[in-house]
Structure 1
Amino acid sequence: MRVVSIGECMIELSGRDGATWRQGFAGDTLNTLWYLRALLPADAVTDYVSAFGDDPFSAEQIAFLKQNGIGTAHSPVIEGKAPGLYAITLDGTGERSFTYWRGDAAARRLADDPAALAASIDGADLIYFSGITLAIIDEAARGHLFDALAQAAEAGATIAFDPNYRPRLWPSPETARAAIERGCMASAIVLPTFDDEQALFGDAMPEDTVGRIGIGGARTVIVKRGGDDALVWQDGTVRSVAPPEPAAPVDTTGAGDSFNGAFLAAHLSGIGAVGATLFAHRVAARVIGRHGALLPADALADLRPDGGTTAFS
């Protein structure tokens, strides 16, 4: 099994204590791959496809990924570039806000070279990307990405997509709508968040989101609603799936990303959409009980398919 995620790995500053911060690496598509890697069998191959700089922080990123069992396939190294940076601040309820420095990040060049991109995703069983992946690259690069995804799908890859709408990354809502609609149509599995879809498309209810995306050809649509029930649509059947137990958030950073990773890991194991959604709720609840986007892999050991009795249940 080979899983590929495409997007931007950033320097993350979190866990602020006065003037002191904890530095890590994160980003929406990396976070999702992190949880896939933690939950998939040990012999699964995982690659993070992006573009990296030639600076010390980029070298640390690549080493960090390698140390955690994640390769970088044929991702280019761009001379003179460096990673983006973001800082997380929290209110008293665990809700977070972000400050970004990413305008000239290396990852914006991830799809400039169509041959390198195609080589990076060739042979993948699952390919995951997001609306942020689309937002940080230019129109020509989006074309390269969609061409590569179409070729991979024809070769048998399952394409999964989280629209993950972030208004500040787009020149206009119209541009975002066009790109995200194309992302949904390119994908067999779509994992939107209702608040994002309501903001961009004006959906009144999660059922509107499911209907709109389902028309585009997706086989499975899972509409996330924070700690509330998720709406699960598969092959025309809709179910509402509640979290199995309430969660007390410490830091909601990475909640949706970990949900996506857990859902996709369960899906790859053959679990149906409802069971995979219940499992995803459980993993996300554990993740929001800690600071930062990436929970250590050993903290999920009992949920692995080769680890405790609760695996994918």
Structure 2
Amino acid sequence: MTELGVAAVGECMLELSGGESGNWRMGHAGDTFNTLWTLRALTPKTIPADYVSAFGDDPFSADQKAFFAQSGIGTAASPVIAGRRPGLYAITLDGAERSFTYWRADSAARCLADDPASLGKSLQNRKLVYFSGITLAILEPPARRTLIEALRQARKADSRIAFDPNYRPRLWASSQEARAANDAALAVTDIALPTFPDEQQLYGDADPRETTARLARAGVRECIVKNGSEPTVLAGGGEMATVSACRVTHPVDTTGAGDSFNGAYLAARLAGDAPQDAVRRAHRVAAAVIQVHGALAPFDMLCKAFENEAEEN
């Protein structure tokens, strides 16, 4: 019998990084894919992992799907959309801090919820489904509603739903639209993984504890509020705790740090770790990721950081 799988829903883009002297490296990345990459590295290979999206019919889309397959990641029933292609972004660095330039108007992923039957099929038989506010932002309002309903049905079938609001103002027509979409997402969410500065900007929360209280009122049972190098606040089951982040003296590239934290946390929870232990392992993994260029750290590096933290606990 096939073991229940994990899935992430969203947009994986072509990533241009390391553009010194015009010598750019091309990779594949995107917030939800970065998280699934970490999940794939840190979960048993008997657990299927799929990236649920939509893909183009161009050579870059074919290369992207081949890269997924080589990494042990499938695409479930994700459709292929004629004439579409992957979005593209370039990373520029100021020290270890990064900024992004995007080209995504005709991204195939914008069509990921256009076929409700294919989407529903992709989310069947999952122990965990992960998505983000960026997933919501790239969709038109009717498609957002289709996605939320598909997640609701997956939850009814006992999938655990994890969500990172990951607020990016330039992707939204207004903050009101973003709040409405996030609130609808939270209504189907079991595990929320927000970043405090994003929540402060969108909702005006005074501190991470206010964020956890607001999400608890929304019905979220498990909330982990990331806050950069500051302690993470977690709440659930009527309890609240803080866990210090790992300090990295000389970070190389902070791209993907929060995404890898999310993947490691979810992998640890799937393995049976308590929330505080899962946060500790996630901090160690995120600390390893910011010591390499690009959003995707090698699997062996992720595993070593994850296992070392387990040994220390």
* TM-score above 0.5, yes or no: yes
Report the counterpart of residue 56 of structure 2 in structure 1: 53
CA drift at 1:300: 2.4
CA drift at 1:248: 2.9
Report the counterpart of residue 190 of structure 1 in structure 2: 192
Equivalent in 294, 300, 310 of residue 298 of structure 1: 300
| Counterparts of 2:163 and 2:229, CA distance in 1 | 20
SS in 1 for 2:19: strand
| Counterparts of 1:236 and 1:28, CA distance in 2 | 30
| Counterparts of 2:309 and 2:91, CA distance in 1 | 35
Report the counterpart of residue 262 of structure 1 in structure 2: 264
Report the counterpart of residue 219 of structure 1 in structure 2: 221
Matching of residues 58-77 of structure 1 within 5 Å: 58-77=61-80
Asked if structure 1 preserves the Cα contact closer than 8 Å seen for 2:284 and 2:309, the reply is no
SS in 2 for 1:70: coil
Q: Give 5+ residue unaligned stretches, structure 2.
A: none
| Counterparts of 1:17 and 1:222, CA distance in 2 | 36
Asked if structure 2 preserves the Cα contact closer than 8 Å seen for 1:167 and 1:173, the reply is yes
Asked if structure 1 preserves the Cα contact closer than 8 Å seen for 2:161 and 2:191, the reply is yes
Cα deviations by residue, 1:30-56 (Å, 9 ceiling, x for unpaired): 000000000111211100000000000
Asked if structure 2 preserves the Cα contact closer than 8 Å seen for 1:250 and 1:288, the reply is yes
Asked if structure 2 preserves the Cα contact closer than 8 Å seen for 1:52 and 1:81, the reply is yes
SS in 1 for 2:14: strand
Matching of residues 1-313 of structure 1 within 5 Å: 1-92=4-95, 94-303=96-305, 310=310, 313=313
Q: Give 5+ residue unaligned stretches, structure 1.
A: none
Cα deviations by residue, 1:186-205 (Å, 9 ceiling, x for unpaired): 10000000000011101111
Cα deviations by residue, 1:196-218 (Å, 9 ceiling, x for unpaired): 00111011111111111111111
| Counterparts of 1:206 and 1:245, CA distance in 2 | 20
Change in Cα spacing, 1:216 to 1:302, as seen in structure 2 (3 Å) is same
Change in Cα spacing, 1:233 to 1:247, as seen in structure 2 (3 Å) is farther
Range that drifts further, 16-25 or 236-245: 236-245
Asked if structure 2 preserves the Cα contact closer than 8 Å seen for 1:2 and 1:126, the reply is yes
| Counterparts of 2:71 and 2:298, CA distance in 1 | 10
SS in 1 for 2:261: helix
Change in Cα spacing, 1:309 to 1:201, as seen in structure 2 (3 Å) is closer
SS in 1 for 2:125: coil
| Counterparts of 1:312 and 1:272, CA distance in 2 | 15
Asked if structure 2 preserves the Cα contact closer than 8 Å seen for 1:266 and 1:276, the reply is yes
Cα deviations by residue, 1:216-263 (Å, 9 ceiling, x for unpaired): 111110000011100010112111110245453110000000000000
| Counterparts of 2:192 and 2:294, CA distance in 1 | 25
CA drift at 1:304: 5.7
| Counterparts of 1:220 and 1:271, CA distance in 2 | 14
| Counterparts of 1:286 and 1:262, CA distance in 2 | 12
Change in Cα spacing, 1:253 to 1:244, as seen in structure 2 (3 Å) is closer
| Counterparts of 1:151 and 1:160, CA distance in 2 | 14
| Counterparts of 1:311 and 1:183, CA distance in 2 | 36
Please provide the CA RMSD for this pair: 1.4
% identical aligned pairs: 56
CA drift at 1:302: 2.5
Change in Cα spacing, 1:312 to 1:101, as seen in structure 2 (3 Å) is farther
Normalising by structure 1, report the TM-score: 0.96
| Counterparts of 1:310 and 1:128, CA distance in 2 | 23
| Counterparts of 1:225 and 1:240, CA distance in 2 | 11
SS in 2 for 1:4: strand
The aligned amino acid for 1:76 is P
| Counterparts of 2:19 and 2:205, CA distance in 1 | 36
| Counterparts of 1:253 and 1:132, CA distance in 2 | 16
CA drift at 1:103: 1.4
CA drift at 1:301: 3.3
Change in Cα spacing, 1:222 to 1:275, as seen in structure 2 (3 Å) is same
Cα deviations by residue, 1:277-305 (Å, 9 ceiling, x for unpaired): 00000000000000000001122233466
CA drift at 1:143: 1.1
